[in-house]
Structure 1
Amino acid sequence: MSSREDETLARAAVTALTGQLALAPKPGLPDPRDLGARVTRRDHRMLRWSAKALAPGLAAMAAAARRTGEPTPALRTGEPTPALRTELGAIGRCTEHSVGLAGGGHRGALWALGLLVAAAALDPRADARDIAATAKRIAAHTDRRAPRRPSRGSSVSAKYGAAGARGEARTGFPHVRGALDALTTSRAAGATEEQTRLDALLTVISTLQDTELLYTAGPIGLRHVQAGARTVLEAGGTATEAGARALAALDADLHARAWSPRGSAGLLAGALFLDALPVTARARAA
């Protein structure tokens, strides 16, 4: 049974995901301009609704972490175990089914948010960097009950040598941490919150070996998208006139090509979750 703390973490994660969905313009990704999925083929209203279906599963993952994490003599907090990794995998597959019934989507976000929520539950006092490090230790274990059939993402990762979602987690979510740095930098420069979050998204897109893009566009297409994101950032980001023009051009280009950097969107949601944790912790303490 989940506690109030577990439900608070789950709500924070869902809020981060819906916050990512609300951003616009997101190049090649569903946003409020595309309510009927005319361009991205993913109905934005459906995605907002199905995001809420993640909450029970994420709360269950937090509860599993609190229950299964084993304290060590040197630490008063839980430590990731193989049993925890297996239980998180089982909860994740059930949650995918529930999300599918609600309209689908968010598979990549569920993977990232699930690990980060579990890591946050293991040590409620940890900061964002420590949570990412704990998520890395969880992901290092093998889910022994996972289906043996390869996913599309894992097949693309094997074909092109990309890290993929598993590699991202097993290296401590470097792109989530990079997005956190971008949030700090853009806020310090005076950007609005929406501009700040778009800059963080573009920071992820600029370097991530996105398996969705590799599948649809190949390595040349991936490099094209990465270069487009870097052009926006090198122009000063979305808060500048030049950066806004470059973003509009990239957005039009990706929509015309039907290329979507979906992996970057899920990692931005992870960054927004970690970014909100200090506020969440203060609210919990109050």
Structure 2
Amino acid sequence: MSAALALRVCPRAPQNPASGEKAALTPEAIGALATACLRLEVETWPKPGLVSHVDNGSHADMDAALLHRSAGGLEPFFAAIAKAAGAGADMDRLRGVGMAAEAEMLAATGGVNTHRGAIFGLGLLCAAAALRNAREPTLGATVSRRWGRAIHEGPAAPHSHGSRAARRYGASGARGEAATGFPSVYGLGAPALDEGLRLAPHDPEAARVQAIFALIAGVADTNILHRGGAEGLAFAQRRAAEFLDRGGVGAPGWRERAARVHDEFVARRLSPGGSADLLSMSLFVRAVERPARSMRSEFDHARGAQ
């Protein structure tokens, strides 16, 4: 199912008049939507240090084609995790689907970690989307209430770059973000998408740029910590905040200024991969929880990028 069709299937999560609860998207629609969000992240530029349709950023081992191939291979797994959650699966079962998705990703990319963080965070949001109801106002609240404790107590990936950086620098990392209901998505990424649409109402890519800069400025990104340490993180957050303070995507010449920041990240080999994952998640929660007509063109564009 295409991303655009996924939105048309259930564009506004209608209420069930008998129960007051919100009708859930089908697992297939959820999977298509999650994959579209990953594709939209790739189709965003300038995006400091990250792979895009324009260049490879700070990465020598991946490009846009690889990321699109990885995203496409994950669609059935996002649908599977939604279906499992809808059937009442516990965290162990959801984790098993995630591990299968990671194996598929590594097979599709020749061992390159393109979307491990997104499999975890976006996968949990897919599970929550299958259970959406009126008692839990956000997908993040659903994740935190239903699986937060299991996320905290579950097995970690002790040798991953992100886990090592989180331990060394005291960052909460992906597990802390998910267990607490994705505060960076709801406090930074999703509001910045709204702000970007206000500043540049006819340029959905601009809204995504606004969001990625807001996330870089406000998140202790463990990918940046791994590559650049505390000094690299401080530099990244400062430059992103300066871009926003000067008006973000609402200021004249914003794209050229954003491109200069991108070049600076590449020169330092900094890559805010955690923020890229959070951008995809921010797109997903906005599409599920508060879809707007302005989102339609974004997902049509993602379909064309396949």
Aligned length: 262
Identify which of 125, 134, 139 aligns with 2:148.
139
Please tell me the residue identity of whatever aligns with 1:19. L
Name stretches of at least 5 consecutive residues in structure 1 with no aligned partner: 70-83
Name stretches of at least 5 consecutive residues in structure 2 with no aligned partner: 1-23, 297-306
1:170 and 2:179 equivalent? Answer: yes
1:94 and 2:100 equivalent? Answer: yes
Counterparts of 1:72-111 in structure 2, within 5 Å, are 84-103=90-109, 104=112, 105-111=114-120
Change (3 A) 1:10 1:231: same
CA contact (8 A) 1:89 1:143 kept: no
Change (3 A) 1:187 1:159: same
Q: State the identity %.
A: 33
Counterparts of 1:1-286 in structure 2, within 5 Å, are 5-34=26-55, 37=56, 39-41=58-60, 42-68=62-88, 84-103=90-109, 104=112, 105-123=114-132, 130-137=138-145, 138-142=147-151, 146=155, 149-177=158-186, 178-191=188-201, 192-241=203-252, 243-277=254-288, 278-279=290-291
Q: Deviations over 1:122-177 (max 9, x none)?
A: 126678x5211111232321487747754332221111100100111122111111
Measure, in 1, the Cα distance between the counterparts of 2:200 and 2:258. 18
Please tell me the residue identity of whatever aligns with 2:52. D
Measure, in 2, the Cα distance between the counterparts of 1:4 and 1:132. 16
Other structure's SS at 1:122 match: coil
Other structure's SS at 1:102 match: helix
CA contact (8 A) 2:42 2:51 kept: yes
Q: Deviations over 1:180-239 (max 9, x none)?
A: 111112222334211111101111110111111111100011010001111111111123
Change (3 A) 1:233 1:61: same
- TM-score, scaled to structure 1: 0.84
Query: What is the root-mean-square deviation of aligned Cα atoms in Å?
Result: 2.4
Measure, in 2, the Cα distance between the counterparts of 1:228 and 1:220. 12
Other structure's SS at 2:247 match: coil
Please tell me the residue identity of whatever aligns with 1:28. G
Where does structure 1 differ by over 6 angstroms across 4 or more consecutive aligned residues? Answer: none
Other structure's SS at 1:53 match: helix
Other structure's SS at 1:32 match: coil
Other structure's SS at 1:19 match: helix
